[in-house]
Structure 1
């Protein structure tokens, strides 16, 4: 069956849609389905995307292609809409570089079924559903009417009120009202009617986009919250002129972020404040649309010299703001699916555990930024109440196939404080104080589809891996469309065909190579390691050749503890959640009773689609592991994994593994030793030295002065033996040096707030404890004509003569939004900005000449350090006016990140390797190396 996967789209959630579409593309059962990737751009064009672009980190990494971009100097990538008004011919030329335009009438000839991974407006609002019904194409999820209802928060609130269901009280502010309103009077009214805190929402957005919480009656913060939901931004002359050029660029990067800023294009107009202050005539207050970041920067610099303030308004903004009473309760999210009989079945609800922070876009999609507990930690009866309420809402709103319902559970006393009403203004909403109140809000007819999102995470609790769950949803969607009257004869045939194929596959006996995928660890990169491991697991599990076995590593450098994981534990949100689940099991706790109940209720699904029952995590020794699997894929980063210790254990039992051997790994984990060896071999590296705790403790002032004498500010400080981007900081002054030193040499686990603030550490950013750290000169342009940061991947092969051959891929250019590249930018979907191949020069011939020189240097690094299997090398490249190329090596990663978004997959795609091909080559190389070693012995 041909499955068209629709992803991307015009909404502010397009990056999560793009990443979710890739997850679906990778996890479709290859024995049942053929995937047809349909990328929807921000103008609504349908594009049959060339497969290699599916593995880019973000949409901006490939679309619009570099050839279509105007010359820019700012490190800000643009979306398609920033190109301005384009003719159809111009759009077609751009589209042809990444795929082929699909006319709507072609869709039915390209696919039997449409899987919708689109989010927000034009994805969840009934628009695409209506188009597909017009052409008679069955699609996933809810139909036109429930989709339209599911996107409209205001309509949902009104229905819940009419049905006497608990929902926070609310008011609306229109953009027109806000433009003429007295802000203080409006705030006073809202506080009087709804109380504090207040919640502000953009009524037709998902994923907490445009959401704010106002905790105090501050009129300036109130205005900011309203603007956020309207996707506006007011900039005053005073605040703009106080920014340095560097800060202006960072401000601009945040503003044009479609998730947390307002995006482009924007309408710019002088604020009335500025006109009054400067005495400008109304005719001078011209407004016009700005499409590009550089154009916006110039406009702000020019206008804010003469006016007091300007207002920027997104052309895709909202016209209303939904203001709600704040619910002080425990937040949860629950996936509801239809069972084979078409009845609503709620999966185990997940609690989102957080402090004062809001569960925003980043918290939802970046591992480790929030804690998710499944099922929510409540008595079984209360969990069942949540499930029943979610099933009721699913039925009431007419949802089909699946939906994600979010809500809060509030104790009676807390509920009284909220002042929420139900029905009419005189009817109290609250149950007695001893009985918690449930508030359901913001249903989603298309859930996020990242590997560990609620969507797959909760399905795993009944024993379905992502591939199996997708198969079930396709089958259920076909049945739902047929019930609704869409081409019943044709869909009956498709259902029969799919059922027969599922039954035949279940009866097949396959002998596949068993691969232990080891993930987790205890370093600051453990969450990224889990993302990498899950991605490897998914790529192998949907293949015919391999049977992956997920293995979680925890413990310490003195003792590695290995656990074979069931699918539901592997798909926990992050490494800490997995470790907690494993420890819970080791403490003798059995399966939660609500999970037993749900698994019984879901048996009609799992008996057909799950293949095998769920199990508990099981601890194994290396010897036991060797008896279970044929080879190992190490998906760990930093220590352990990249330091040779784990490789040494695997070699004891003859287990083939990926990546470099023990000796090479023990060198590349140590950045100081790596740089020393490369410098001795004649390669360029930064000037560097180790700074030890003993030296600092003996004489702190002498320690600081010594560093300042050798390394003028700014310089780089980082751990010498952790993976990339972990606690890498640009040190600009003595205060920051002291803060970095105290943090890395601290005795306690927790970070000290003063030092964390000085170093501008992000929310929940980790910082390792070490006895020494590495200091390096900051590598800068140094007068070069062109200067950029790159990361290059490589793969090794055995020649027929048995010699090692290194294949170096085209490097990616990395654009950092901060002072250094963060973990998220390197590895997580939608976060990084990578351009592959790197833009060494505008002229293609010159670009290729520089690229070959860079690849030659990276190949030399691999040979000097005896890298085997694969690796990623980070470097800076300077291109001088005379054409001379200088490559300065930063570090070598012997087990690079293998998350779906990491740029090594962009590079291998250019060389013709799909991610599965690349992983297969890595495993084959490891197996051949072990065979060679055995032959020598």
Structure 2
């Protein structure tokens, strides 16, 4: 860490169905960043894609915003000539503030030492904001473009896990166009390969948004249409009679695993409300696992992290099948929730790393990764 205070840009909100979750995570992080070491610069992105900078950012995003997925997308509306609003940034000179306010996002980001992109879901956890940060050349917390994109896309993720020999539940994936062209064949394939009940999910979304449990063909078709309202690709997975276990990963090239935790939902499955409402689920930390199960969970979690070329942090979710103890990887989350109810920080707290120290370590990892990547050649010189 440099001697002066680091200017940390915390980006939150976004054009995602997880917009509200992002606000909760960002508030927890900004409250916990030590003001003796950091100057926090709030950067809020509204649901229609407007960037709000500084002290007014939080208030702006708390105001009523358009729906996360309006009938007419923000991309189809006329482009705004004022993409930055409320540029009240502490820690920057008046000249810096003026320059940032009058220009596109990269100019603002050039004035920041490290970015903490607390954006869950599409346009945040999927490699898009990571690509912008790479182009600007600013260090940022978390996974890079590849790992973010693969970690977000459940179909691509499962294909890579399969190639890496990581055990998973059976699944079927398809696009909106394929389903529209041959609905009967897709339904028959799901029934033959997976059976009922099964879970239907948008391929590129998190926080259990758009997920349904289908018990029959009527449920299945309705669930697919719901999932397609959130994404053009859908994944259907077999239902496993299993305990839900999660583990935190921290690091870059030499990641370490936290203790494991178990989620016991008080609803039928671990849906959006169970995740983000207090009392929606019981978190048991550490999870009651046999030595063999614990070793398998830790090993597969690190393998999954490395398979997608993860960095910084991730939470890996597992099924531990009842009766057999079979361990299956469900998914990896490259920017897991950071609310006060969230599993990832609780896992590290139980592992001996307090919330504020966890944030310190994540920022250190971001700076380390950026320093390493800065050594790469960016041009070819024949001489």
TM-score bracket for the superposition, by shorter chain length: 0.7 to 0.9
1:459 corresponding residue in structure 2: 348
Correspondence 1:480-559 to 2 at 5 A: 480-485=369-374
Q: Residue 326 of structure 2 is aligned with which of 433, 437, 454?
A: 437
Q: Is the 8 A contact 1:3 1:34 kept in 2?
A: yes
CA distance in 2, matches of 1:460, 1:163: 30
Once the 2 structures are TM-superposed, how far is the Cα of residue 102 of structure 1 from its aligned partner? 5.6
1:227 corresponding residue in structure 2: 225
Once the 2 structures are TM-superposed, how far is the Cα of residue 401 of structure 1 from its aligned partner? 1.2
CA distance in 2, matches of 1:98, 1:8: 18
SS at match of 1:129: helix
Distance 1:410 1:29, change over 3 A: same
Q: Is the 8 A contact 1:8 1:17 kept in 2?
A: yes
SS at match of 1:470: helix
Distance 1:387 1:149, change over 3 A: same
Q: Which whole-Å deviations, capped at 9, do the CAs of 1:673-722 have from their partners, x for residues lacking one?
A: xxxxxxxxxxxxxxxxxxxxxxxxxxxxxxxxxxxxxxxxxxxxxxxxxx
Once the 2 structures are TM-superposed, how far is the Cα of residue 487 of structure 1 from its aligned partner? 8.5
Once the 2 structures are TM-superposed, how far is the Cα of residue 178 of structure 1 from its aligned partner? 2.7
CA distance in 2, matches of 1:135, 1:330: 43
Once the 2 structures are TM-superposed, how far is the Cα of residue 329 of structure 1 from its aligned partner? 0.7
Correspondence 1:363-512 to 2 at 5 A: 363-411=274-322, 436-485=325-374
SS at match of 2:10: strand
1:350 corresponding residue in structure 2: 261
Correspondence 1:585-596 to 2 at 5 A: none
Distance 1:475 1:97, change over 3 A: closer
Distance 1:356 1:21, change over 3 A: closer
SS at match of 2:259: coil
CA distance in 1, matches of 2:186, 2:353: 50
Q: Residue 248 of structure 2 is aligned with which of 317, 327, 335?
A: 335
Q: Is the 8 A contact 1:166 1:437 kept in 2?
A: no
Q: Is the 8 A contact 2:110 2:138 kept in 1?
A: no
Q: Is the 8 A contact 2:243 2:321 kept in 1?
A: yes
1:151 corresponding residue in structure 2: 152
Once the 2 structures are TM-superposed, how far is the Cα of residue 355 of structure 1 from its aligned partner? 6.0
Equivalenced residue count is 358
Once the 2 structures are TM-superposed, how far is the Cα of residue 78 of structure 1 from its aligned partner? 5.2
Once the 2 structures are TM-superposed, how far is the Cα of residue 63 of structure 1 from its aligned partner? 5.0
SS at match of 2:225: helix
Once the 2 structures are TM-superposed, how far is the Cα of residue 180 of structure 1 from its aligned partner? 4.0
1:831 corresponding residue in structure 2: none
1:557 corresponding residue in structure 2: none
Correspondence 1:183-194 to 2 at 5 A: 183=184, 186-194=186-194
Q: Residue 21 of structure 1 is aligned with which of 3, 15, 26?
A: 26
Correspondence 1:148-297 to 2 at 5 A: 148-181=149-182, 183=184, 186-215=186-215, 217=216, 219-231=217-229
Larger Rg: 1
2:111 corresponding residue in structure 1: 110
Structure 2 unaligned runs (5+)? 1-5, 90-100, 378-383
Distance 1:462 1:324, change over 3 A: closer
CA distance in 1, matches of 2:176, 2:22: 28
SS at match of 1:196: coil
Once the 2 structures are TM-superposed, how far is the Cα of residue 10 of structure 1 from its aligned partner? 0.7
Q: Is the 8 A contact 1:171 1:322 kept in 2?
A: yes
Once the 2 structures are TM-superposed, how far is the Cα of residue 179 of structure 1 from its aligned partner? 2.5
Q: Which whole-Å deviations, capped at 9, do the CAs of 1:588-621 have from their partners, x for residues lacking one?
A: xxxxxxxxxxxxxxxxxxxxxxxxxxxxxxxxxx
2:380 corresponding residue in structure 1: none
Correspondence 1:81-96 to 2 at 5 A: 85-89=77-81, 91=82, 95=85
Distance 1:78 1:214, change over 3 A: closer
TM-score, scaled relative to structure 1: 0.36
CA distance in 2, matches of 1:352, 1:140: 26
Distance 1:179 1:437, change over 3 A: same
Q: Residue 50 of structure 1 is aligned with which of 52, 55, 59?
A: 55
TM-score, scaled relative to structure 2: 0.85
CA distance in 2, matches of 1:225, 1:145: 29
Once the 2 structures are TM-superposed, how far is the Cα of residue 358 of structure 1 from its aligned partner? 1.3
Correspondence 1:795-806 to 2 at 5 A: none
Structure 1 unaligned runs (5+)? 65-76, 232-316, 414-432, 489-937
